[in-house]
Amino acid sequence: MNQITPSSPSLMPVVLTGTVWLMVVLAGALLLTQYSLSAGSAGSPPQQWPTTSRVPLESGLPKLVLFLHPRCPCSRATLGELEQLMAHCQGRLSAEVLFIRPEGVAENWEKTDLWTTAEAIPGVEARADQDGVEARLFQAETSGQTLLYDASGHLLFHGGITLSRGHAGDNPGRSALEALLWHELVSPVPTPVFGCALTAPATQKECPSCNP
């Protein structure tokens, strides 16, 4: 009886197909990993609270402002980290999540599941940022950009609060914010912001899910 070996002609198409499939899977996994670890632009937020901002700075507490694109899938993890932060630092800050609302979109376009999630976090208020006016004032460029100002309007922290795109869990950004609010840290370093671009031209190139 003839014995079929791996080099037999009848097995060559199967081996070749399997090899190609494996290479495609590995390449896809590599690209996905690179994408998840690619940070967006952190911008250059003002050191002092912008006087023309419509976001109130009146509570006598530190103020956290988080900018999000309402259709950025990466930002679900950011809201999860915000929820953890608010639970661990209850009563030590006030927080607003500003959702970008481009000109010309349908009514309530920004009120996605992310908006509902943000509203449900105790101590957090959701607000629409019409045409990104507030984002420009605070020079926020990436969904997930988080800023913390003290009660007098001085910038204490800016950066992201996830470890990578869409990755929830302990991370330097949230840890720095908690340490600041518990007076265990004075001047933290900025952290990378992992999310999609807030502005339309950049978003269209980067993430089709975020397009108006």
Chain-centroid distance, C-alpha 12: 47
Tell me the per-residue pLDDT of 46-70, one tens digit each, with 9 for 90 and over.
999 999 999 999 879 999 999 999 9
Q: Residue 186: its pLDDT value, please?
A: 81
On whether residue 85 sits in a domain, the answer given is yes
The first and second tokens of residue 86, run together, are 């608010």
Q: Is the pLDDT of residue 202 over 50?
A: no
pLDDT at 188 over 80: yes
CB neighbour burial string for 181-209, b if at least 16 within 10 angstroms, e if fewer: beeeeeebeebbbbbbbbbbebbeebbee
Q: Would the pLDDT of 32 be above 80?
A: no
pLDDT at residue 7 tops 80 = no
pTM equals 0.79
> Which CATH number covers residue 106?
3.40.30.10
Q: Indicate whether 46 belongs to any domain.
A: no
pLDDT of 36 = 45
The C-alpha atoms of residue 31 and residue 165 are separated, in whole angstroms, by 13
CB 136 within 8 A of CB 190: no
Q: What is the pLDDT of residue 199?
A: 82
- Could you report the per-residue pLDDT of 132-152, keeping only the tens digit for each? 999 999 999 999 999 999 999
Write the pLDDT tens digit of every residue in 92-138: 999 999 999 999 999 999 999 999 999 999 999 999 999 999 999 99
Burial (Cβ within 10 Å: 0-12, 13-18, ≥19) of residue 211 = exposed
Q: Specify the residue for token string 């397009």.
A: 211
What per-residue confidence (pLDDT) applies to 177?
Answer: 97
Of residues 75 and 4, more confidence is placed in: 75
Nearest Cα residue to 143 out of 62, 43, 58, 61: 43
pLDDT confidence of residue 141: 95
Where in the sequence is the domain holding 80, given as residue range(s)? Answer: 63-199
* Reduced 3-state DSSP string for 79-138: HHHHHHHHHHCCCCCEEEEEEEECCCCCCCCCCCHHHHHHHCCCCEEEEEEECCHHHHHC
Does any domain span residue 18?
Answer: no
pLDDT at 168 (0 to 100): 83
Q: Domain for residue 16, yes or no? A: no
Examine the pLDDT at 154 and tell me if it is beyond 70.
yes
- Let me know if residue 36 belongs to a domain: no
Q: How many domains does the chain have?
A: 1
Mean residue pLDDT of the chain comes to 84
On whether residue 71 sits in a domain, the answer given is yes
Whether 210 is in a domain gets the answer no
How far apart CA 159 and CA 119 sit, in angstroms, is 22
CA angle (109 as vertex; 106, 112 as ends), nearest 5: 160
Q: What percent of the chain has pLDDT over 70?
A: 75
